[in-house]
C-alpha cells in the first residue's frame, strides 16, 4: 500500500469526501488529490494535520505500510524519521533483553545440572550406625564394644556377659551426615553409643530432576539465541 492509498482508505472509512478532509486538514482539495494519487508527498506539518483530521496516531497510520516502504519512501518526513529511530531503539532494547534472558537461562542450566550431577545440594551418601544397647551411668561409652572387660574385674566377666546379653537392645540410625567412627546420644536410663557400620549410596529423585531442569533450561537458552539470530537477520 502506498501513502496515497492509505490516506484514501482512511478517508473512506471515516465517510469523508475529499473536500471534507481537505477542509479539516486545512489544505487545498487539489493538493489532497495529488497526495492520494501519489503525485506529491506531504510535509511534516501537513502529515500531522491529516492524521489529526483522520483521528489516527502516527504509529497506527504507519502500521498499514510494509516496513521497507516506510523506511525508503517516508523516512524523510521528520515525524516518521523520529518514529523509526524510536522503533530501532525499542528493537535494540528488546534484543538485548532477549539475549540477556537467554544467557541467564544457560547460566541457570549449568548451575542446576551441576548441582544435580555433583549431588551438592542433596547428598546421596548415607551412613548406617548401630548401638547394641543402653550404657548405664558410670559405665564406659564402649561398654558393649569391649569396655565391659576393661571396667570389670576378670572374675566377674562371666556374670557380666550374661547381664550384657539380657541388656542387648540393638538400634540403627541411617544418617545423611557423617558423624565419625562413633558418637553418643543420651536416652532414658543412660546413653547409646552408635558405631558406624557401613556407608552406602541412596539415589535421590531431587538430583535427577535438577539435571532434567538443567537440560530444559539449556535448551530454552540456546533456542533463544537461535531465534534472536534469525530475527536479527530479518530486520
Residues 21 and 58 in one domain: yes
Helices (H) and strands (E) in the chain, counts: 10, 4
pLDDT the model gives residue 192: 96
Percent of the chain past pLDDT 70, that is, above it, reads: 99
Residues 113 and 228 in one domain: yes
State pLDDT tens for residues 59-76.
Answer: 999 999 998 999 999 999
The DSSP output letter for 200 is E
Residues 136 and 196 in one domain: yes
Q: Cβ contacts of residue 117 below 8 Å, gap of 6+? A: 207, 211
Residues 115 and 211 in one domain: yes
| CB-CB contact of 4 with 36 (8 Å) | yes
CATH number at 41 reads: 1.10.260.40
Please state, in angstroms and as integers, the Cα–Cα distance from residue 64 to each residue in 7, 15, 83, following that order. 10, 19, 14
Inside any domain, residue 79: no
Inside any domain, residue 62: yes
3-state secondary structure of 199: strand
Domain total of the chain: 3
pLDDT the model gives residue 235: 61
Residues 197 and 214 in one domain: no
pLDDT the model gives residue 234: 64
Question: Roughly what angle, to the nearest 10 degrees, separates helices 18-25 and 29-36?
Answer: 110
Residues 130 and 155 in one domain: yes
Q: What is the mean pLDDT of residues 33-56?
A: 95
Query: How many Cα atoms are found within 13 Å in the side-chain-facing hemisphere of 104?
Result: 6
The cell numbers describing 230, all together, are 534469525
Can you list the alpha helix ranges (DSSP code H) found in 54-156? 58-62, 67-73, 78-118, 147-151
The burial class, CB within 10 Å (0-12 / 13-18 / 19+), for 30 is: exposed
Residues 102 and 217 in one domain: yes
pLDDT the model gives residue 195: 97
pLDDT the model gives residue 57: 96
Inside any domain, residue 170: yes
Inside any domain, residue 77: no
As a whole number, the mean pLDDT across the chain is: 93
Residues 166 and 209 in one domain: no
Give the structural domain span for 171: 125-201
More confident residue, 159 or 113: 113
Whole-angstrom Cα Rg for the chain = 42
pLDDT at 233 over 80: no
Inside any domain, residue 76: no
More confident residue, 154 or 59: 59
Inside any domain, residue 160: yes
Residues 186 and 210 in one domain: no
Residues 9 and 66 in one domain: yes
Mean pLDDT is lowest, of 91-95, 113-117, 125-129, for 91-95
Amino acid at each position: 500500500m502506498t501513502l496515497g492509498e492509505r490516506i484514501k482508505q482512511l478517508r473512506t472509512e471515516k465517510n469523508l469526501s475529499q473536500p471534507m478532509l481537505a477542509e479539516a486538514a486545512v489544505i487545498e482539495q487539489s493538493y489532497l488529490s495529488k497526495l492520494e494519487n501519489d503525485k506529491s508527498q506531504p510535509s511534516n506539518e501537513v502529515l500531522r494535520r491529516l492524521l489529526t483530521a483522520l483521528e489516527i496516531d502516527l504509529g497506527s497510520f504507519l502500521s498499514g505500510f510494509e516496513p521497507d516502504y516506510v523506511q525508503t519512501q517516508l523516512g524523510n518526513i521528520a515525524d516518521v524519521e523520529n518514529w523509526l529511530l524510536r522503533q530501532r531503539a525499542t528493537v535494540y532494547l528488546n534484543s538485548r533483553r532477549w539475549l540477556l534472558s537467554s544467557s541467564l537461562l544457560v547460566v541457570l542450566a549449568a548451575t542446576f545440572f551441576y548441582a544435580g550431577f555433583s549431588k551438592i545440594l542433596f547428598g546421596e551418601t548415607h551412613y548406617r550406625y548401630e548401638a547394641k544397647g543402653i550404657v548405664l551411668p558410670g559405665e564406659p561409652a564402649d561398654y558393649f564394644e569391649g569396655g565391659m572387660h576393661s571396667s570389670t574385674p576378670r572374675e566377674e566377666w562371666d556374670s557380666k556377659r550374661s547381664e550384657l546379653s539380657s541388656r542387648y537392645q540393638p538400634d540403627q540410625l541411617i544418617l545423611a551426615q557423617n558423624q565419625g567412627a562413633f558418637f553418643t546420644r543420651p536416652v532414658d536410663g543412660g546413653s547409646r553409643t552408635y558405631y558406624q557400620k557401613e556407608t552406602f549410596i541412596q539415589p535421590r529423585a531431587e538430583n535427577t530432576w535438577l539435571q532434567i531442569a538443567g537440560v530444559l533450561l539449556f535448551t530454552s537458552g540456546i533456542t533463544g539465541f537461535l531465534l534472536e539470530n534469525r530475527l536479527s537477520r530479518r530486520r
